[in-house]
Chain A
Amino acid sequence: MNMLTVSGSPHIHGDESTKKVMYGVVYAMIPAMLVSVYYFGLNALRVLLLATAAALFFEWLIQKYLIKGPVTITDGSALVTGILLAFNVPSNLPSWMVIVGALVAIGMAKMSFGGLGKNIFNPALVARVFLLISFPVQMTSWPKPHAIINGLTDAVTGPTPLGIVKEGLDAGKTMSELTPELPNYLQELIGQMGGSMGEVSAIALILGGLYMIFRKIITWHIPVSMLLTVVVFSGILWGVDPEHYADPVFHLLTGGMLLGAIFMATDMVTSPMTRGGQLLFGFGVGLLTILIRIWGAYPEGVSFAILLMNAVVPLINRGFKPRRFGVKPGVEIKTS
């Protein structure tokens, strides 16, 4: 007989693993990756490959030579960060900037906090904001989508729909004057508009989100509460003055709204632990996003909104506890 193993119960384990969760997120991003390559061509492929390779490399380097601990680059988490970083930049970003972005994401935002599970801020978003502040010109020159089947010509750059609206309204134009310059809803749905390479196609992102909900990697709470807040808040403004505020559907479909709601705000490490907390978190992100988009200095506000809410997650976790069995809600728990 073999030696008997003795360990505490339970003696069986479900089939979930960190690796499966992380690769599940990677699979969910495949549609958006395909769309980005379709519209932004080989440049998108270049950014994707570079960002992921650099993220993996920096994680390996830091784990092996700086921390001198176990190397866990196969767990999929650095891969997710790499892809998300690529999704958050324009496809024509110079290669070295992509690499700097990966270093910031992995080195600064993840490893310096203690690695997987310990970081407070979403690593890819920290990198995005870092790049935006350091290289504002390159980070806001958006190639126009150009279906790959129509030949591999050099992309022309132009503003994003959000940029058009922001500048236009600031210059005193009205929404009806601006509408002809904007893509229509159908183009916004499939992703035929300028923007960061992973954010453009609503359909691809929603597909990925549904897959993650089906696989129980995320729940609906954060995306739904965030998007609902956006619709209600922007809807009120638009209802009051449709000439000076974009409509809610426009807000939903443009910029990083869906990418943020589905893939960034739902990052399990940096979002609240309970459903109630997640609803509040989503509400906060939605509210801040619209505030920044409409009254802030930048046309887009999703990244800032998520990072700001990331910072209050520990507080939310303290305030929102799961419903305890046998404890009436609102009743102070007495410890004897």
Chain B
Amino acid sequence: MSTGHITIDLDAIIANWRALDKMTSVETAAVVKADGYGLGAATVAKALAKAGARRFFVAVAEEGGAVRNAVGPGPEVSVFAGHMRGDTDTIGDLGLTPILNSLEQVTRHFDALPGHPFGIQLDTGMNRLGMEWDEWAAVAEIALAQRPTVVMSHLACADEPDHPMNAYQLDVFHKMTDGITVPRSLAATGGILLGKDYHFDLCRPGIGLYGGLPFTKARPVVQMDLPVVQIRHLDAGEVVGYANSWQATRPSRDRDPISGLRRRLDPVDVRQGHAILRQRTRATYWPRVDGLTDRGCDRPQRRPACVDPAWGSTNSGSTGRRVRHNWLRNPDVTWWALYTPDTRRMKRLLAMIGAATLGGFTTVGRIALFTASTFRHLATQPFYGREFGQALFQIGFLSLPVVGLTALFTGGALALQIYSGGARFSAEAVVPQIVAIGMVRELGPVLVGLMIAARVTSSIAAEIATMKVTEQIDALVTLSTHPMKYLTVPRVLAATLVMPALVGVGDIIGILGGYIVGTERLGFNAASYLQNTVDFLEQRDVISSLVKGAVFGFIAALMGCYYGMAAGRGASGVGAATKGAVVAAAVLILVANLILTEAFFSI
């Protein structure tokens, strides 16, 4: 047996919560940060929710999901780290309550999720998290007007009841919060034990729930069965582990559980291939996690109090609602994670890369399905003629000014470029021909396509996304109207049909721009300029231009519709949809342009 395992007694966690709850007359939350101090946040939270806990605290927003999932929508799940950049969606979607720690977070929260619940953390001297005097003075009025769920602070030395820091922090907390009508919270496990003065409106024990100090009367929660790889003899003064983190004060006996335990957990020995002693030991052990500004990969608590040797006995009779962890397979157990490379972080990174890749494929797949569905609805009745007519007008007619202007100036600039570039090898005379080819084959369709992506795609996406978030799309469905038929088909069809015309106009005006510059600035003869242009252009050039136009129009409208229909909730959903649609349309138009150019002109 070379792996150990740990037994977690959920009943004991519940009993500890109840015991701590009994010590106060106020509400008692439960802190399940750091994955429930390594014991599985979801499992612990679920058990405590059943026992009656209505508020949970986690360290960071990512942890909120598991807890929200476990406890359902009712209970409050608060996040100590507050509203960090990039957390908005998580906080909003999961209904988390960020405990805002700074002016910056307050601003971010009010901007991104107005009306969404939040708490406030103040710093009363620990210098870990929270706002200090000046910051708090600046935002207090605005923040309190929004009714935070709690205003809290954290005690630095609550484990030591006599420490003067406790009274000092209590005093500061009073000064910072007296007179406000929002619930206040100062006490974690240690604070509860300090007495009534520290309880305020809400207590939030963490370590005590898991049987850790300073809650000495706690029921042990975690029991570890683990094999000892090697037992060392230590003389007084000998040191142990990385950075000599522990020094023996007395000679150890042969089977000192402490050195045994330490050695077993330090993988160095295993790698160096020391002799392995097959001896089983059992120890009761309280893992300890130090929250947010952790000193990185710290050791578990060093106090011998956390090791309770009970030699020789075999596995505990695990009964009832106990959950068994195999801690080699389940690196969630905190102290195991502390002693090994951070496999969870690597896993998470891999998972993120995987998810992003999958997400990309999913989008491509969804767009393909959406396209197929557009064609299906195009082919079947009913067809909404009025909407089609309006779309023609919107996309075609109203785009003419912008198309004309872009083409005119680009055509003119093109003529200048070709003239000065051509002069390097005495080819100034080809200006009319190159302008014609450049505009018709390439610049006309691409420019018009991109302008349409900017103008039409964005407005389609914004319009449909707004309809989505204001439930107008749902309303269409209840009125027996298929949104694909009513919204997508008319727009996509109109764009596909009208874009060749727009491109044609763009081509002509572009050539006109070249003509104006050519005759006015570069001294070309007006009649021969036009003659050259007409003679030089082939039918294939023009057809390719119009086909490109149709394809780009299809892409532009389709992207607008797809991203609009796929919009998330709220105003940010509309913004994201518009952005996504324009970017996708522009990129796809350029890709399609390359493919079509290859198809038309590769021979």
Do these two chains interact?
A: no
Taking beta carbons and an 8 Å cutoff, which residues of B are in contact with A? none
Taking beta carbons and an 8 Å cutoff, which residues of A are in contact with B? none
